[in-house]
Amino acid sequence: MDVMNENVSKGNAIKALAEIYKITTQEIMAMGDNNNDIEMIQVAGIGVAMGNAGEAVKAVADDVAVHHEEDGVAWALEKYVLSKGGK
């Protein structure tokens, strides 16, 4: 059993970080592979699902990276941060 505040979520964490750093959520990229990452991926300006993510996660993501074991995080950082690409 997990017990936590009902307002705690990865999506709310993205919103809180944006407020702390005085940026918009559109300036944040989030990556995930599990259903508990869905809200975070939706809230972020760029939401990336790892290649090994479930279909529900991939469906809400802006892009799907290669599998995490094939350096999916590095793939996304290269594409959206280092190359200054993205939406």
pLDDT, tens digit, for every residue of 27-68? 999 999 999 999 999 999 999 999 999 999 999 999 999 999
Report the predicted TM-score, pTM, of the whole model to 2 decimal places: 0.86
Structure tokens given for 13: 């964490």
Find the DSSP H helices in the chain. 10-20, 38-43, 55-60, 72-77
What residues have CB less than 8 Å from 11, skipping those under 6 apart? Answer: 39, 40, 42, 43
- In this predicted structure, what is the pLDDT of residue 86? 52
Q: What's the CA gap between 86 and 78, in Å, rounded? A: 10
- In this predicted structure, what is the pLDDT of residue 1? 67
- In this predicted structure, what is the pLDDT of residue 6? 80
